C-alpha cells in the first residue's frame, strides 16, 4: 500500500488573505521608498564631493528651462519658511533677492505689530514705510511714543540745565530747550498722523493700543496748551487726528481691544460714540487714560458704558470711575468684569471730585458679580487723607503702585493696605523722588513694628516688592526676605534707601553690607543685590510707561 504525503511549501504569512496581501504590498512600497531615499542621499553626497558638479547640474537645469537658485522657490514656500523665523532674521533673509523681499510683507507673517518709537524726525521715514506695508492688514497694533533721550541738559522747558551760567546763560538755555520741545511736539503730531492714516481703512484690526509718553509736557497742563498752540495754532492737526481716530473706530468690524494711554489730545468725550453697537457689544478690553482732560470732562460716561456688555477688563482714571459705573457693571446683562486698572493722579483729584466714587457697598456688589475680579491702582502724588477715602475695605486690590514727587506715603497707609488686602495683594511698589536734605522718610517712625515687615507677614501672596526713596533698615529687609522666602520673586530696593543700625556698624568683625546680601539671599533662596543705579529702574524713571505696560499684561492675564 502506497501513501503519498504532500509537504506544504512555505509562503509569506497571510499571503492568501486580503489583509495579508495588503500588508505585503505596504511592506514592498516602504522598501521601495527606502531604496529611493538611499539612492538620493548617495547622489547628494557624490555631488558635494565632486568639484564643479553643482555648476554642471545648474547648467543642465538651465538647459531644461528650469530657474535656478533661491528665486526659483514659489512664494507660498518662501512665506512658509519666513513663518519660522523671528522678525530680525526675516528681514535679513529678505535681502537675498527681490522675489524674497516681495514675500516679506505677506499678511500672514505680520498678524501683530509692536512698535516703540523715539519722538525724533529720524523715525518718520521708517515708520511711514512700515505702516504703508502693514497698516492695511495688521490685526494687532501696539505703538508707543517716547521723548526719552531726545532732550539733553534738563528735565523740561524752563529747567536751568544744571550749571550756573548766570541769568543770561539760563535764558539762552531755556530758549534752546523750548525750541527743542517745540520740535518734539511737532514730530509727535506727525508720527501720530502717520499711524492713524495708514490704518483708517483696516477692517481686520482686532487689538489697537496707543501710548504717548510726553509726560514732561503733561505735568503742567497750561504749559502743554501753550506749546501746542505754537505748533498747531489753528488746531487743524489736532482736529485731523481726532477725526482719524473716530474714523478708525467707525470703520472697525472686529475690534476687541482698544487702549489709549497718555496720548496728547487724541481721545475726546465723544470718541466712543463712533463705535457701532455691534462692536461695542463685543469689546473685551477698554483703556482710556488721560490726566490732561480739562475740568470735569470724562472720556466715558456710565450711559456709554452700558453698551459694553462683554467687557472683561477696564482701565480708567479713578475720578472717572463713578458709583453709577459700578452699578452698570453689576447689571445682569453684563459679563463679569475680571480686571480693573485705576489711575489716581493729583491733577485729576484737584479738578474733579471724589464724591462720586464707588462706596464699599458698590465694591461688594462688584466682587459678588465676579469672584475673580482683581484691581490695580497707581497713585501719583496723592495725599494720605485722599488715599484713606479711596482705599475701601472691599476692593479686591492685587497691585498698588505709589509714585511721589511732592507728597510722601505714610506708614499708616502701608499698614492699612496690609490689613485690608492681605488675601489679594501680590505687587507693592513704593517710589519717592521728593528732594529732602534731611534724608528719606522712615515709615517705621514711632512704631513698634515696621509697616513693610507687617506687609510681608500679612500678605501671603506678595511676589513683588520695590522700594526707593524711603528708609529701609537692613534688619527689616532681612526679616522681609525670611518671611516671604522664595515666594517673593522680585525684591528691588535701591542701595541709597538701605540704612544700618549703629550696633551693626559698630561690629568690626562683620561687614554689614556683605552680611545683608548674604542673609537676604539666604532668605529668598536666590542671589540678591541692592539696586545700585536708580536709573536702571524703569518703574522709577518711566512711571507712566511702566504702569501702562503692567496694565496691559495685567488685563491680558485673564
Q: What is the pLDDT of residues 390-434, one digit of tens each?
A: 999 999 999 999 998 888 899 999 999 999 999 999 999 999 987
DSSP string, 406-432: S-PPPHHHHHHHHHHSTTT--EEEEEE
Predicted local confidence at residue 224, as pLDDT: 57
Predicted local confidence at residue 45, as pLDDT: 58
Predicted local confidence at residue 176, as pLDDT: 64
Beta pairing partners, 6 = none
Prediction pTM value = 0.81
**Of the ranges 29-43, 303-317, 349-363, which is most confident?**
303-317
556 closest CA partner among 290, 304, 396, 374: 374
Instruction: Out of 31-40, 345-354, 490-499, pick the least confident.
Output: 31-40
Q: Please tell me which residue, 512 or 247, carries the higher pLDDT value.
A: 247
466 closest CA partner among 420, 426, 423, 514: 426
Q: Please tell me which residue, 165 or 369, carries the higher pLDDT value.
A: 369
Predicted local confidence at residue 472, as pLDDT: 93
Q: CA–CA separation, 305 vs 290, rounded Å?
A: 17
Q: Please tell me which residue, 332 or 43, carries the higher pLDDT value.
A: 332
Long-range contacts of 155-161 (CB under 8 A, 24+ apart): 155/216, 156/181, 156/216, 156/217, 156/219, 157/181, 157/216, 157/223, 157/227
Q: Is 313 a residue whose pLDDT tops 80?
A: yes
Instruction: Out of 139-148, 421-430, 436-445, 466-475, pick the least confident.
Output: 436-445
Predicted local confidence at residue 221, as pLDDT: 45
Buried b (16+ CB within 10 A) or exposed e, 57-87: eeeeeeeeeeeeeeeebeeeebbeebeeeee
Q: In the predicted model, what is the mean pLDDT of residues 140-162? A: 58
Beta pairing partners, 286 = 258, 314
The rounded percent of the chain whose pLDDT value lies above 70 is: 79
Name the grid cell of 401: 503702585
Beta pairing partners, 432 = 404
Element (H, E) at 125: helix 123-134
Q: Is 215 a residue whose pLDDT tops 80?
A: no
Q: Please tell me which residue, 316 or 92, carries the higher pLDDT value.
A: 316
Residue 291 and residue 345 in contact, taking contact as beta carbons nearer than 8 Å: yes
Element (H, E) at 340: strand 339-345
The 10 Å Cβ neighbour count of residue 271 is 19
Instruction: Out of 7-11, 115-119, 154-158, pick the least confident.
Output: 154-158
Q: What share of the chain is helix, strand, coil (3-state, %, to 5)?
A: 50, 15, 35
Q: CA–CA separation, 68 vs 46, rounded Å?
A: 20
Cβ partners under 8 Å of residue 451, min gap 6: 411, 414, 415, 418, 443, 444
Q: Is 351 a residue whose pLDDT tops 90?
A: no
Q: Is 376 a residue whose pLDDT tops 80?
A: yes
Q: Is 151 a residue whose pLDDT tops 50?
A: no
In which band, very low, low, confident or very high, does the pLDDT at 5 lie, cut at 50, 70 and 90?
very low
Given CA atoms 381, 384, 390, 395 in this order, what sign does their dihedral have?
A: positive
Predicted local confidence at residue 446, as pLDDT: 66
319: helix, coil or strand? helix
Residue 244 and residue 197 in contact, taking contact as beta carbons nearer than 8 Å: yes
Predicted local confidence at residue 194, as pLDDT: 94
User: What's the mean per-residue pLDDT of the chain?
Assistant: 82
Q: Is 58 a residue whose pLDDT tops 60?
A: no
Amino acid at each position: 500500500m502506497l501513501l503519498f504525503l504532500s509537504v506544504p511549501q512555505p509562503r509569506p504569512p497571510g499571503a492568501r488573505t486580503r489583509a495579508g496581501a495588503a500588508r505585503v504590498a505596504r511592506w514592498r512600497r516602504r522598501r521601495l521608498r527606502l531604496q529611493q531615499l538611499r539612492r538620493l542621499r548617495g547622489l547628494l553626497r557624490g555631488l558635494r564631493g565632486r568639484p564643479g558638479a553643482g555648476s554642471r547640474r545648474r547648467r543642465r537645469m538651465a538647459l531644461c528651462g528650469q530657474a535656478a537658485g533661491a528665486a526659483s522657490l514659489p512664494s507660498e514656500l518662501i512665506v512658509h519658511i519666513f513663518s519660522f523665523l523671528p522678525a530680525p532674521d526675516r528681514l535679513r533673509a529678505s535681502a537675498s533677492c527681490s522675489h524674497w523681499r516681495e514675500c516679506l510683507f505677506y499678511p500672514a507673517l505680520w498678524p501683530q505689530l509692536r512698535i516703540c518709537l523715539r519722538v525724533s524726525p529720524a523715525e518718520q521715514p521708517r515708520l511711514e514705510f512700515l505702516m504703508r506695508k502693514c497698516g492695511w492688514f495688521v490685526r494687532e497694533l501696539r505703538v508707543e511714543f517716547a521723548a526719552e533721550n531726545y532732550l539733553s541738559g534738563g528735565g523740561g522747558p524752563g529747567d536751568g540745565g544744571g550749571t550756573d551760567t548766570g541769568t543770561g546763560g539760563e535764558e539762552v538755555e531755556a530758549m534752546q530747550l523750548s525750541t527743542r520741545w517745540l520740535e518734539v511736539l511737532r514730530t509727535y503730531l506727525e508720527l501720530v498722523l502717520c499711524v492713524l492714516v495708514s490704518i483708517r481703512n483696516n477692517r481686520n484690526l482686532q487689538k489697537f493700543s496707543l501710548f504717548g509718553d510726553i509726560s514732561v509736557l503733561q505735568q503742567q497742563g497750561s504749559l502743554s496748551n501753550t506749546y501746542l498752540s505754537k505748533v498747531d495754532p489753528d488746531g487743524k492737526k489736532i482736529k485731523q487726528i481726532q477725526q482719524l481716530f473716530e474714523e478708525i473706530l467707525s470703520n472697525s468690524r472686529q475690534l476687541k481691544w482698544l487702549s489709549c494711554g497718555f496720548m496728547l489730545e487724541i481721545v475726546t468725550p465723544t470718541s466712543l460714540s463712533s463705535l457701532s453697537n455691534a462692536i461695542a457689544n463685543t469689546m473685551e478690553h477698554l483703556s482710556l487714560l488721560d490726566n490732561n482732560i480739562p475740568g470735569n470732562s470724562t472720556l466715558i460716561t456710565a450711559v456709554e458704558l452700558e453698551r459694553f456688555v462683554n467687557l472683561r477688563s477696564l482701565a480708567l482714571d479713578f475720578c472717572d470711575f463713578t458709583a453709577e459705573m459700578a452699578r452698570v457693571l453689576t447689571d445682569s446683562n453684563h459679563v463679569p468684569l475680571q480686571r480693573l486698572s485705576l489711575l489716581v493722579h493729583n491733577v485729576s483729584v484737584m479738578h474733579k471730585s471724589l464724591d462720586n466714587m464707588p462706596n464699599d457697598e458698590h465694591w461688594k456688589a462688584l466682587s459678588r458679580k465676579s469672584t475673580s475680579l482683581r484691581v490695580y491702582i497707581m497713585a501719583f502724588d496723592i495725599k494720605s487723607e485722599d488715599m484713606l477715602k479711596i482705599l475701601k475695605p472691599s476692593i479686591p486690590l492685587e497691585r498698588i503702585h505709589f509714585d511721589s514727587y511732592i507728597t510722601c506715603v505714610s506708614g499708616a497707609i502701608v499698614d492699612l493696605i496690609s490689613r485690608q488686602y492681605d488675601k489679594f495683594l501680590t505687587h507693592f511698589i513704593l517710589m519717592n523722588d521728593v528732594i529732602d536734605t534731611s534724608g528719606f522718610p522712615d515709615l517705621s517712625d514711632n512704631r513698634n513694628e515696621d509697616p513693610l515687615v507687617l506687609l510681608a507677614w500679612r500678605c501671603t501672596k506678595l511676589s513683588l516688592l520695590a522700594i526707593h526713596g524711603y528708609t529701609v533698615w537692613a534688619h527689616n529687609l532681612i526679616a522681609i526676605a525670611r518671611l516671604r522666602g522664595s515666594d517673593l520673586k522680585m525684591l528691588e530696593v535701591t542701595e541709597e534707601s538701605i540704612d544700618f543700625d549703629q550696633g551693626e556698624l559698630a561690629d568690626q568683625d562683620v561687614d554689614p553690607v556683605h552680611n545683608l546680601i548674604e542673609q537676604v539671599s539666604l532668605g529668598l533662596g536666590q542671589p540678591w543685590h541692592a539696586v545700585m543705579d536708580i536709573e536702571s529702574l524703569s518703574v522709577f524713571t518711566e512711571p507712566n510707561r511702566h504702569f501702562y505696560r503692567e496694565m496691559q499684561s495685567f488685563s491680558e492675564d485673564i
